[in-house]
Copies of this chain bind each other. A is one copy, B any other.
Amino acid sequence: MKASVIGATGFAGAELVRLLLGHPQAEIAMVTSESSTGEMLSKMYPHLRDRLDKRLTSMQDIHTIADVSDVIFIALPHGHAMKIGKELRNTDVKIIDLGGDYRFKDYRVFEKWYKVEHVDPEAKAVYGLVELYRDKVKQAKLVANPGCYTTASILSLVPMLKYKLIKTKGIVVDAKSGTTGAGRSLKLGNLYESVNESFKAYGVANHRHTPEIEQAYSEFAGEDVIIQFTPHLLPLDRGIYATCYAELKDDVTDEQIENAFNEMYGKEYFIRVLGKGGVPELKNVRASNYVDLGWEVDRRTNRLIVMCCLDNLVKGAAGQAVQNMNVMFGLKEQMGLEALPIYP
């Protein structure tokens, strides 16, 4: 299976390359970068040295790339994938987009939150959260890989919403991300000194992952759900931690909560449910495709607190993309993703 990575020099792109190099059934066809066309990727990312011998090409020649690829991963900022997707509509190549372009059922939601016109509104994309949409992913030709915050937030509360255990009003998701979530751009806020020994909120009340979370919550709740979502920046490389607050419906028991999580995730390879009182730690999932999830109930407030963490570059981006690829091509779902977390 030949895979190409469009936008291989960002953190997610480089992580895709790392994972694909370790995948027993995948072979990297082409890697692209518009800013570093012609360079060796292993020069920019020397951790890949001796294992990848590819020069970066340009995505301008997307049809050539499609010709030599069974699957194309797009790891670019939003706005590019929809052009590529449209361009390759009538080819056989499968596409997995790691950006926001194809994540919304209604393209107008995208346009509203991302402030750009959607050029491919009639595309038929599948939302690639395999644990929730496995059957659709199997059939998909175009997959929208979920965002990092989104994956953690959705997995935290969807079982509660599906089984009607929590109220749909008043949900708060207080989320925290490692710095790779902010990308690799050269700005003061990304300097070591800006991040190290610090912590801050950002995108308060207007972060683009909000409507993506709400879309999944609403679908599983069967009604419109509006949430409060606040991201923060952690002084560490990798990881998403979502602390999710929701009011329990009357008389909901711990057992019902336990059952709902087990029902949905009990057989999932990548989701480890720690159960009531279990508190996940970011480091226990680092560099792996695992999601760790625990919960607690506060009977003083009748509120459920779900804590969920994952590695934003793996399950929150490249790993999930490979998981989607595996499902799309009928491979074993965890193929190439079995590496355990790196601790410490």
Contact = CB atoms under 8 A, between A and B. Distances in A.
A286 B197 contact: yes
Interface stretch (A62-70, A128-136, A144-152, A178-186): A178-186
Given A176-B176, A197-B344, 6 more contacts: A172-B174, A186-B186, A190-B192, A197-B197, A200-B279, A228-B301
Sort chain A's interface into a size bin: 35 or more
B297 A205 contact: yes
A247 B226 CA distance: 14
Interface stretch (A91-99, A237-245, A254-262): A237-245
Interface string A207-232: 00000000000000000001110101
A193 B282 contact: no
A233 to B, nearest CB: 9
3 closest cross-chain pairs (CB), A and B: A198-B283, A193-B344, A205-B298
Copies per complex of this chain: 4
Contact of A281 (B190, B198, B301, B303): B198
A195 interface: yes
Interface in A269-297: 272, 279-288, 292, 296-297
Interface in A299-344: 300-301, 303, 305, 307, 309, 338-344
